A and B are shown apart, each in its own frame.
Chain A
Amino acid sequence: MRGAVAAQPRGNHRRGLSIQLAVNIAVLASIYALIGCGYVLIYRTSRVLNLAHGELMMVAAYLLLATASLFSGHPLAAFAASALLGLVVGAAVYLVLMRKMTGERVLAAVLATVALGILLRGIVVLVWSAQQQYPGQALGWSNPALALPGGARISAAAAALVLTTAAAYAGLFAFLRYTRWGIRMRAAGQNPLLAAQRGIRLHGVYALAWGLSTFTGGLAGMLIALDAGLEQTMVVIGLKAFPAALVGGLDSLVGAIAGALIVAAAEVLLIHYVNPLLADVVPFLVLIAMLLARPWGLFGTREELDRV
């Protein structure tokens, strides 16, 4: 393999590079968007900021390890089972813990999610130990790289992630627009009191929102774990996706996509052309700029500000 780094013609090389950068932006934006829609779903329906989202998504990814040994030889079945378990875990978290926090101060509810996060991290160490895990290996699935036109490349897991994000958003839009439960969820988010008076069971709707949020977050967690392995720092990735959701507007799914694209593009381009060290702060700098200029986000609803 040595010496194979053949020099490409310069112009061709530039075009290849820009396509690769576009692919990188798409992948990173998909990660942020798929994680971010979990924040949006919960915030939009129940006005709670879920800071345990990273932990919940990590738990779903770890559950993949468990289901992988349960359904050995059927990677897709294991994947689906783990995603559904994520849904159940999310709904259970609402019913057991967060239900009691409705009507409490904003900070108390946020802190409850933080406490939940600490608890979940402890449980994960307890069950799976702190070391690096590879769910891909447990599933018997290797992660080949796919060549794209223009010389760009993408790993299969990352490609799956982009497609899953697209499918998840399409599904969520359809769900919220056309299904009975989706309309209930929107109603509960817009005016809980009126919704309750019209006979919508708020707790059921909120539990569903938590379930769906953990489900989508879990999909992201599992795909990241398949791409790069799994350990405790996945929590921080969950937190890094949060600025993206906020830039777009915490109560807008379209906003989550737009925010993810903006933050991802800023991050990838700054890493490439300015300084890789900036990667850590860029999402938060974009966030500060947004909060000062348009606190409710690109697509958020303005009245939200006074309600919080």
Chain B
Amino acid sequence: MPFASGYFRTSYARELRLVDTRAQAASLTVFLAALGAFPFVASSFLLDLANQFFLASIGAVALMLLTGYAGQVSLGHAGLLAAGAFTVGILVKEANAPFWVTLPAAAGVGALLGVVFGLPSLRLRGLYLAVSTLALYFVVHYVGSEYETERGFSTGIIVDPPALGPLVVSDARAWYFVLLAAAAATVVLALNLLRSRSGRAWRAIRDHETVAEALGIGVPAYKLAAFVVSSMLTAVAGALFAYYRGFVSIEAFSLFLSIQYVAMVIIGGMGSILGALLGAAFVTLFPYAIEALIEVLPTPERYANLVFAVNYAAFGLVMVAFLLFEPEGLVGIWRRVRDWFVLWPFRQRPLAGTK
């Protein structure tokens, strides 16, 4: 995307605009058109990957709001996804509810859990807060597995595809557009929140809580708000996940899932919505890329058994490498590349502090 090579803003309204230049607007249109055309050329496998990416990006953006902007660490993300998915599962099984009931219900449950997950944040910070969210994750997990066993759904709860009258969202292409819309809505919502009062308050709290309080920001209220918004979005992602996969099972929401989401935020780059998207893409696609690579590379027959263990270890290795060598994440790489092109032949921005 082309960017202005200098700082040309003359009003606050201009400063707040999401799309800065005309060339940017044009390239955004081309990009959206390409996204729209994608399902008509891609194989169903690629389509599924894209759908997985959209689902992951909703969760990643939600976690980015909480951790990257408001500075509140959470290791309980999988618990919130599970809560959203189980809300759908339970309502479908017990009340045969349609999706226009279950999705808002999932959002409501998410918001409620957001308050619960957020309450410790009024007292705790950093590590201790992370641990309290971890503990809450285990409680949600326990409740979910109890429901599943007590009601006898030992191999998971089957959820039928959402339908509105004769319209049924069941094939991958329909899902692509639904999930694309959901992900896009999430991104726009996040961007809007961030350029409003609450976004500024979150950043102030992240950077220095005491100063934020001195500036007259209601710290507890904004902290809770961050948890509520993030949890609500995550629970909706969980609900969509349940519909997309067509089933709900607690085994799908392991602690590893939480860790994957934290990895998305870190690998993508803290404090950037673009980072959340890049991180989601990276973490979702990485195992498939490795697998494809292994399939192409000639592997000697006798090492075939080892390949999968290598794949498993590689994810850890790549994460370590990112943390060691690129602490700013993918978005850091992206910024450097962009600046190189935008500023060429110069090396520095004329005025620092642009986005």
Listed stretches B88-96, B245-253, B320-328; interface member: B320-328
The 12 sampled A-B contact pairs (Cβ below 8 Å) are: A106-B126, A110-B127, A115-B319, A118-B313, A122-B315, A284-B134, A288-B139, A291-B120, A295-B123, A295-B128, A305-B125, A308-B126
Evaluate whether A104 and B128 lie within 8 angstroms (CB atoms) in the complex, with A119-B313, A284-B138 already known.
Answer: no
Question: How far is A280 from B149 in the complex, measured between Cα atoms in Å?
Answer: 15
Neighbouring A residues of B49 by C-beta, 8 Å: none
B323 touches A123 (CB 8 A): no
Nearest-CB residue, chain A, relative to B262: A111
B323 touches A281 (CB 8 A): no
- Judge if A114 is at the interface, Cβ distance under 8 Å: yes
- Judge if B263 is at the interface, Cβ distance under 8 Å: yes
Contact with B along A97-121 (1 / 0, CB 8 A): 1001100111110111011111111
A107 touches B312 (CB 8 A): no
- Judge if A6 is at the interface, Cβ distance under 8 Å: no
Neighbouring A residues of B125 by C-beta, 8 Å: 305-306, 308
Evaluate whether A117 and B128 lie within 8 angstroms (CB atoms) in the complex, with A101-B323, A295-B123 already known.
Answer: no
Neighbouring A residues of B324 by C-beta, 8 Å: 97, 100-101, 112
A104-B327, A107-B67, A107-B262 known; 17 other A-B pairs, CB under 8 Å?
A106-B127, A107-B73, A114-B319, A118-B312, A122-B309, A126-B313, A242-B131, A280-B142, A281-B139, A281-B142, A288-B120, A288-B135, A291-B128, A291-B132, A292-B123, A308-B125, A308-B126
Q: Which of B135, B136, B266 has the most CB of A within 10 A?
A: B135
In the A-B complex, the 5 residue pairs with the closest CB atoms? A122-B313, A119-B316, A118-B316, A115-B319, A308-B126
Chain A: minimal CB distance from B290 (Å): 12
Question: How far is A100 from B320 in the complex, measured between Cα atoms in Å?
Answer: 11
- Judge if A28 is at the interface, Cβ distance under 8 Å: no
Question: How far is A292 from B116 in the complex, measured between Cα atoms in Å?
Answer: 12
B320 touches A116 (CB 8 A): yes
Q: Which of A100, A119, A243 has the most CB of B within 10 A?
A: A119
Question: How far is A111 from B316 in the complex, measured between Cα atoms in Å?
Answer: 10
- Residue numbers of B with Cβ under 8 A of A are 67, 73, 120, 123-128, 130-132, 134-136, 138-139, 142, 146, 255, 259, 262-263, 266, 270, 306, 309-317, 319-320, 323-324, 327
Chain B: minimal CB distance from A43 (Å): 8
Chain A: minimal CB distance from B327 (Å): 7
Neighbouring A residues of B262 by C-beta, 8 Å: 107, 111, 114
Question: How far is A308 from B121 in the complex, measured between Cα atoms in Å?
Answer: 13
- Judge if A287 is at the interface, Cβ distance under 8 Å: yes
Nearest-CB residue, chain B, relative to A47: B127
Nearest-CB residue, chain A, relative to B210: A306
Question: How far is A306 from B320 in the complex, measured between Cα atoms in Å?
Answer: 28
Question: How far is A287 from B324 in the complex, measured between Cα atoms in Å?
Answer: 32
Neighbouring B residues of A306 by C-beta, 8 Å: 125
Neighbour of A122 across the interface among B259, B266, B316, CB < 8 A: B316
- Judge if A77 is at the interface, Cβ distance under 8 Å: no
B320 touches A125 (CB 8 A): no
Neighbouring A residues of B127 by C-beta, 8 Å: 49, 106, 110, 250, 308
Evaluate whether A284 and B135 lie within 8 angstroms (CB atoms) in the complex, with A119-B320, A295-B124 already known.
Answer: yes
Chain B: minimal CB distance from A125 (Å): 4
A292 touches B120 (CB 8 A): yes
B124 touches A291 (CB 8 A): yes
Nearest-CB residue, chain B, relative to A277: B146
Q: Which residues of chain A from 268 to 284 have any CB-CB distance to chain B below 8 Å in the complex?
A: 277, 280-281, 284
Question: How far is A308 from B255 in the complex, measured between Cα atoms in Å?
Answer: 23
Neighbouring B residues of A112 by C-beta, 8 Å: 319-320, 323-324
Nearest-CB residue, chain A, relative to B73: A107
- Residue numbers of A with Cβ under 8 A of B are 49, 97, 100-101, 104-108, 110-112, 114-123, 125-126, 239, 242-243, 246, 250, 277, 280-281, 284-285, 287-288, 291-292, 295, 305-306, 308
A119 touches B317 (CB 8 A): yes
Nearest-CB residue, chain A, relative to B308: A125
B123 touches A111 (CB 8 A): no
Nearest-CB residue, chain B, relative to A49: B127
Neighbouring B residues of A49 by C-beta, 8 Å: 127, 130-131
Question: How far is A97 from B265 in the complex, measured between Cα atoms in Å?
Answer: 20
B73 touches A121 (CB 8 A): no
Neighbouring B residues of A97 by C-beta, 8 Å: 320, 324
Nearest-CB residue, chain B, relative to A119: B316
Chain B: minimal CB distance from A112 (Å): 5
Neighbouring B residues of A292 by C-beta, 8 Å: 120, 123
Neighbour of A121 across the interface among B132, B136, B312, CB < 8 A: B312
Chain B: minimal CB distance from A104 (Å): 7
Evaluate whether A108 and B312 lie within 8 angstroms (CB atoms) in the complex, with A281-B138, A292-B120, A295-B128 already known.
Answer: no
Chain B: minimal CB distance from A246 (Å): 6
Neighbouring A residues of B270 by C-beta, 8 Å: 105
A116 touches B138 (CB 8 A): no
A111 touches B323 (CB 8 A): yes
Q: Which of B127, B134, B313, B319 has the most CB of A within 10 A?
A: B127
Neighbouring B residues of A104 by C-beta, 8 Å: 323, 327
B313 touches A288 (CB 8 A): no
Nearest-CB residue, chain B, relative to A285: B139
Question: How far is A122 from B313 in the complex, measured between Cα atoms in Å?
Answer: 4
B316 touches A284 (CB 8 A): no
Question: How far is A112 from B311 in the complex, measured between Cα atoms in Å?
Answer: 18
B323 touches A108 (CB 8 A): yes
Q: Which of B136, B266, B310 has the most CB of A within 10 A?
A: B266
